[in-house]
């Protein structure tokens, strides 16, 4: 079965503010806003930040959760938007989601899935290894940090399960994805000739433990 990858995102996400509380969660952009502005009160602070955030092309509320077979139609829709000939079929995605060794996560905004990741854990030469099989992000949510968030969450789960290294593949001409992976600590370990049809692939590896 082919291993696929579709990541076009490398940015920060921010979380929704907790209403009427003095303490709430910040993200990179909110910290930047605080440094750039002198604000008089927390109510004014919230109001201005919401207006500021609404002008940014970044989702306000993203959550990561487990995926299930019930999500299959939406996952296939995103998959087909990321790939053409290389797209996983509905049957293949179903098989991956029901495999005992697979882990599937979805990023959702206001209840709608905007990206997902599927990984698998197995033994490779007696070493517990994690393999990213696919990362897909819907076209209208790329370059917003969705892919990075999903990958880092999967790495965290891998590490909790004793995975020592994480592997993945990417097209050699996918500059955005390569830059992201290298930033996150992945190193090239090999090249796959004609792995994506007429396009070559690159094998990447990151040590987790």
Length of the chain: 209
Give the domain CATH number at 184. 3.40.630.30
Beta strand ranges found along 35-126 (DSSP E): 62-66, 102-109, 112-124
Phi, psi for residue 16 in degrees, rounded to 5 = -70, 140
| Cα pseudo-dihedral 174, 96, 142, 173, rounded to 10 | 0
Q: What percent of the chain has pLDDT over 90?
A: 55
Give the pLDDT score at 209: 78
Give the pLDDT score at 57: 46
Structural domain including 66 reads: 62-207
- Looking at the structure, do residues 68 and 54 belong to the same domain, yes or no? no
Ranges of residues in the chain with a pLDDT under 50 are 1-42, 49, 52-59
- Looking at the structure, do residues 33 and 79 belong to the same domain, yes or no? no
Give the pLDDT score at 56: 45
Give the pLDDT score at 43: 52
Domain count within the chain: 2
Give the pLDDT score at 47: 54
Give the pLDDT score at 122: 95
pTM beyond 0.85: no
Residue 53, SS3 per DSSP: helix
Give the pLDDT score at 194: 84
Give the pLDDT score at 152: 96
Give the pLDDT score at 58: 47
- Looking at the structure, do residues 51 and 75 belong to the same domain, yes or no? no
- Looking at the structure, do residues 133 and 96 belong to the same domain, yes or no? yes
Give the pLDDT confidence of 10-67 residue by residue, as tens digits.
222 223 333 333 233 334 344 444 444 444 444 555 555 455 444 444 445 889 999 9
Residue 110 lies in a domain: yes
């Amino acid at each position: 079965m082919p291993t696929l990858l579709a990541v076009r995102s490398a940015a920060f996400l921010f979380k929704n503010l907790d209403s009427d509380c003095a303490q709430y969660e910040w993200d990179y952009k909110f910290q930047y806003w605080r440094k750039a502005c002198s604000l008089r009160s927390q109510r004014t602070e919230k109001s201005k930040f919401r207006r500021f955030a609404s002008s940014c092309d970044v989702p306000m509320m993203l959550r990561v959760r487990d995926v299930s077979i019930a999500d299959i139609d939406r996952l296939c829709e995103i998959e087909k938007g990321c790939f053409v000939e290389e797209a996983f079929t509905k049957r293949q995605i179903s098989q991956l989601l029901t495999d005992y060794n697979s882990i599937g996560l979805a990023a959702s905004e206001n209840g709608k899935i905007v990206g997902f990741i599927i990984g698998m854990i197995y033994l490779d030469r007696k070493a517990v290894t994690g393999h990213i099989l696919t990362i897909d992000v819907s076209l209208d949510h790329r370059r917003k940090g969705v892919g990075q968030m999903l990958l880092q969450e999967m790495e965290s789960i891998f590490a909790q399960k004793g995975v020592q290294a994480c592997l993945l593949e990417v097209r050699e001409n996918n500059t955005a994805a390569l830059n992201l992976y290298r930033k996150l600590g992945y190193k090239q370990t090999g090249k796959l000739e004609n792995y994506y049809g007429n396009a070559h692939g690159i094998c990447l590896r990151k040590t987790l433990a």
